[in-house]
């Protein structure tokens, strides 16, 4: 048997890394461990940025957020079984948000799993992942790594983006093969997210519906932000003259203070509009499924929907003009079909919307002033609003209940993809992973405005933030509890209320423990000074902002989703 010179060989470790690099993947968010620790080391050695977290769920949230921000699949890498399961929540969340992400998990050999022989961290991961993500693949042979990675990348970004699971049995990594053959087996994915043009008759139908509108509305969703079709989206809105309503992560596609923004008149435009154009937004629970009193008279509206996913049409209500395709292509087609003399909507409608917007903004303005202590959500968010007016490149991460609901309407965004939040599911705990990805992928300063409970889901990652010295300022709205801090346990039992925390928790000392800057802020002036200092210094900072514990309400704006007990009321 002739001995083969080692330099003529490659192996699974290096083929996987070469395949990722060949396709422009330059960052891996992971938690090391058997069997992927060396994979992370070799990847780092080959120039891939490998960030190690404290828990796989947050590495996964970072990967999903990276996918939203870059249109490339964010990659999360975990160990088998428990590590895989920790990453799975984030993979399912990315899939629900329509964000491209790949979860690469080490796994046990098939023959052991299929005989259930009790391997170290044994689990049939592929079977478990399949129903929770867009696609799932396992690679068994080194020569298949190139095609396996290519399939995962294409599946993540083509059509409606989503999460993909890539199962890597430990023995695959150690498989050696001829280096030249290995290089030939790699695949560079060509045009992974091809343009999907709308059919001309679909465009004509949409124009017809729009021409008949007296009170049209455009709703921009996070799909429109993800598409990075910013210029055509802006042109479509401005050329049409139609008032628009941005969903939370579409804020900033046009500046929130744009004259056609109807955010501050949301109730009026949802109720009184007669034609609604959905652009990369779904009529799901966030829009009350397009029906009910919020939407005025039943069946009183016509919907035009732009979406890359054909099956999204008629998901909740009849779509009069389905426009299936990618947002860039669809928006451009509408603009072209509108021609040079497009008639703007009646001023009776646009003036009514505008005056409602201006009235509500004025009413809110007075609540955002003042330097009283303890702060409430409005006075604290009045400060955050000012910060983002002065530092428009800063990225806002936001989660909580009251902390989320008030911030969404009070803090204006002026640039696209500058707001990351709880997404379609309303997931608590996305904050630190999202903040880390935002800082790593954009190098912009990040301010994460966190409810104190939401922070509790991901707080240990402030050590990760300090270890990589990231320009992240965590602002905890500390109202001593989930939703509020004064709530007595309604069941009357002696144990602490289900939603209250240790009074006056000193979260800022956690950040100091890892070498970051900790601030205890009791007034709006304290808060403003500390946030500007954090942004300008780019030092990892945690500001413990003390909020009146009676200031919030249970579940913020969505308390009505709670089931009610008839027995308990009796
Ligand atoms: N490039 C794209 N072109 C068209 N539609 C897209 C594109 N990317 C994502 N989408 C669609 O955008 C929609 C996003 O909806 P959703 O997540 O509900 O947004 P929001 O929560 O902001 O309303 C999804 O239905 C998805 O299929
Ligand atoms: C994974 C997961 N588990 C629980 C929940 C349920 C929930 C929704 S909002 C929230 C925290 C609200 O308290 P917080 O202090 O953050 O904000 P504030 O209202 O300002 O006091 C919880 C626990 C969700 N959505 N996701
Ligand atoms: Mg709270």
Distance (Å, whole) CA 263 – CA 267:
9
Q: Which residues contact 407 (CB under 8 A, 6 or more apart)?
A: 381, 384, 396, 398, 449
Q: Which pLDDT score is estimated for 503?
A: 87
Q: Is the CB of 274 under 6 A from ligand 1?
A: no
Closest ligand, as measured to the CA of 96: 1
Mean pLDDT of 483-512: 77
- Nearest ligand 1 atom, CA 193: 1
Q: Whose CA is nearest to atom 17 of ligand 1?
A: 97
Helix (H), strand (E) at residue 561: none
Q: Which pLDDT score is estimated for 486?
A: 75
Distance (Å, whole) CA 43 – CA 38:
8
State yes or no: pLDDT of 1 exceeds 80. no
481 C-alpha to ligand 2 centroid (Å): 9
Q: Which pLDDT score is estimated for 97?
A: 98
Q: What letter does residue 274 receive in the DSSP assignment?
A: S
Which among 328, 317, 179, 359 is positioned nearest to 253, based on CA atoms? 328
State yes or no: pLDDT of 393 exceeds 60. yes
Specify whether the CB–CB gap between 567 and 412 falls below 8 A. Answer: no
Q: Which pLDDT score is estimated for 113?
A: 87
Cα distances (angstroms) measured from residue 517 to each of 453, 466, 473, 477, 512: 21, 10, 9, 17, 6
Helices assigned H by DSSP within 316-346: 327-338
Choose which residue among 61, 285, 400 to substitute to test ligand 2 binding: the one with the highest number of ligand atoms within 8 A of its C-beta.
Answer: 400
Q: Is the CB of 223 under 6 A from ligand 1?
A: yes
Per-position DSSP letters for 240-262, written without gaps between them: HT--EEE-GGGTTSS-TT-TTB-
- Nearest ligand 1 atom, CA 227: 1
Mean pLDDT of 191-218: 98
| Token pair listed for 153 | 């990348």
Distance (Å, whole) CA 561 – CA 418:
29
State yes or no: pLDDT of 569 exceeds 70. no
Residue 168, strand partner residues: 106
State yes or no: pLDDT of 449 exceeds 60. yes
CA-based torsion, 174, 178, 179, 183: positive or negative: negative
Cα distance between the two ends of the chain: 85
Position 414 confidence tier, pLDDT thresholds 50, 70, 90: very high
User: In this structure, what are the phi and psi dihedrals at residue 303, rounded to the nearest 5 degrees?
Assistant: -110, 135
Q: Which residues contact 370 (CB under 8 A, 6 or more apart)?
A: 379, 382, 524
Choose which residue among 100, 202, 223, 309 to substitute to test ligand 1 binding: the one with the highest number of ligand atoms within 8 A of its C-beta.
Answer: 223
Distance (Å, whole) CA 434 – CA 93:
12
Q: Is the CB of 224 under 6 A from ligand 1?
A: no
Distance (Å, whole) CA 230 – CA 232:
6
Helix axes 377-390, 402-410, angle to 10 degrees: 40
Choose which residue among 163, 280, 288, 329 to substitute to test ligand 1 binding: the one with the highest number of ligand atoms within 8 A of its C-beta.
Answer: 280
Q: Which pLDDT score is estimated for 325?
A: 98
User: In this structure, what are the phi and psi dihedrals at residue 344, rounded to the nearest 5 degrees?
Assistant: -70, 160
Q: Which pLDDT score is estimated for 489?
A: 61
Distance (Å, whole) CA 452 – CA 457:
9
* pTM: predicted TM-score of the whole model, two decimal places: 0.96
Pairing between strand 541-546 and 517-521? parallel
pLDDT digits (tens, 9 = 90+) for 116-174: 898 888 899 999 999 999 999 999 999 999 999 999 999 999 999 999 999 999 999 99
3-state secondary structure of 397: strand
Q: What letter does residue 6 receive in the DSSP assignment?
A: G
- Nearest ligand 2 atom, CA 428: 26
Q: Is the CB of 377 under 6 A from ligand 2?
A: no
Q: Whose CA is nearest to atom 7 of ligand 1?
A: 223
Please state, rounded to an integer, the average pLDDT across all residues of the chain. Answer: 95
Find out whether the peptide bond into 35 is cis, omega within 30 degrees of 0. Answer: yes
| Token pair listed for 526 | 């304290």
Distance (Å, whole) CA 233 – CA 242:
12
Conformational region of residue 280, where left means phi above 0, alpha means psi within -120 to 50, and beta covers everything else: left
3-state secondary structure of 46: coil
Mean pLDDT of 45-72: 98
3-state secondary structure of 27: strand
Q: Is the CB of 308 under 6 A from ligand 1?
A: yes
State yes or no: pLDDT of 496 exceeds 60. no
Chain-centroid distance, C-alpha 352: 33
Q: Lay out the sheet containing 541-546: strands in order across.
A: 419-420, 395-399, 446-451, 472-478, 541-546, 517-521
The ipTM (two decimal places) reads 0.98
The number of beta carbons lying within 10 Å of the beta carbon of residue 229 is 24
Mean pLDDT of 275-302: 97
3-state secondary structure of 303: strand
- Nearest ligand 1 atom, CA 196: 3
């Amino acid at each position: 048997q002739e001995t083969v010179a080692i330099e003529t060989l490659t192996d699974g470790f290096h083929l996987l890394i070469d395949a990722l690099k060949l396709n422009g993947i330059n960052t891996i968010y992971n938690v090391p461990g058997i069997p992927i620790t060396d994979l992370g080391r070799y990847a780092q050695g080959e120039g891939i940025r490998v960030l190690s977290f404290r828990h796989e769920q947050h590495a996964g949230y970072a990967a999903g957020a990276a996918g939203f921000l870059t249109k490339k699949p964010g990659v999360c890498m975990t160990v088998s079984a428990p590590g895989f399961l920790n990453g799975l929540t984030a993979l399912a969340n990315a899939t629900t948000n329509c964000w491209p992400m790949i979860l690469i998990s080490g796994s046990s050999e098939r023959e052991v799993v299929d005989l259930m022989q009790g391997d170290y961290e044994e689990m049939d991961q592929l079977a478990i992942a399949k129903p929770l993500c867009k696609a799932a693949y396992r690679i068994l042979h080194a020569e298949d790594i190139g095609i396996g990675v290519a399939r995962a990348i294409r599946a993540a970004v083509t059509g409606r983006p989503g999460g993909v699971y890539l199962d890597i049995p430990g023995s695959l990594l150690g498989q050696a093969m001829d280096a030249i053959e290995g290089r030939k087996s790699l695949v560079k994915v060509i045009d992974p997210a091809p343009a999907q043009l709308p059919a001309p008759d679909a465009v004509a139908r949409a124009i017809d519906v729009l021409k008949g509108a007296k009170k049209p509305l455009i709703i921009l969703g996070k799909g429109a932000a993800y598409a990075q079709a910013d210029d055509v989206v802006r042109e479509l809105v401005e050329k049409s003259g139609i008032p628009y309503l941005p969903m939370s992560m579409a804020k900033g596609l046009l500046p929130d203070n744009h004259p056609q923004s109807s955010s501050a008149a949301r109730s009026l435009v949802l109720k009184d509009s007669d034609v609604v154009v959905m652009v990369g937004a779904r009529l799901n629970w966030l829009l009350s499924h397009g029906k009910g009193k919020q939407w005025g008279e039943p069946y009183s509206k016509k919907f035009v929907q732009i979406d890359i996913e054909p099956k999204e049409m008629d998901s909740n209500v009849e779509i009069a003009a389905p426009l299936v395709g990618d947002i860039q292509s669809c928006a451009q087609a509408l603009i072209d079909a509108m021609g040079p003399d497009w008639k703007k909507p009646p001023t009776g409608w646009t003036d009514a919307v505008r005056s409602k917007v201006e009235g509500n903004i004025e009413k809110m303005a007075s609540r955002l002033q003042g330097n009283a202590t303890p702060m409430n959500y409005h006075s604290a968010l009045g400060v955050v609003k000012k910060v983002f007016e002065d530092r428009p490149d800063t990225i806002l991460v936001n989660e909580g209940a009251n902390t989320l609901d008030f911030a969404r309407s009070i803090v204006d965004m002026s640039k696209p993809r500058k707001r990351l939040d709880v997404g379609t599911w309303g997931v608590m705990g996305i904050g630190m992973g999202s903040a880390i990805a935002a800082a790593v992928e954009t190098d912009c300063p990040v301010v994460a405005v966190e409810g104190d409970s939401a922070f509790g889901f991901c707080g240990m990652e402030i050590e990760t933030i300090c270890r990589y010295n990231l320009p992240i300022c965590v602002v905890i709205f500390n109202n001593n509890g989930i939703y509020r801090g004064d709530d007595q346990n309604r069941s009357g039992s002696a144990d602490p209320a289900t939603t209250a925390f240790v009074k006056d928790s000193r979260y800022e000392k956690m950040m100091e423990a890892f070498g970051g800057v900790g601030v205890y802020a009791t007034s709006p002036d304290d808060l403003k000074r500390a946030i500007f200092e954090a942004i300008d210094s780019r030092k990892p900072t945690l500001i413990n902002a003390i909020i009146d514990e009676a200031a919030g309400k249970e579940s913020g704006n969505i308390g009505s989703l709670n089931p009610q007990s008839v027995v308990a009321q009796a």
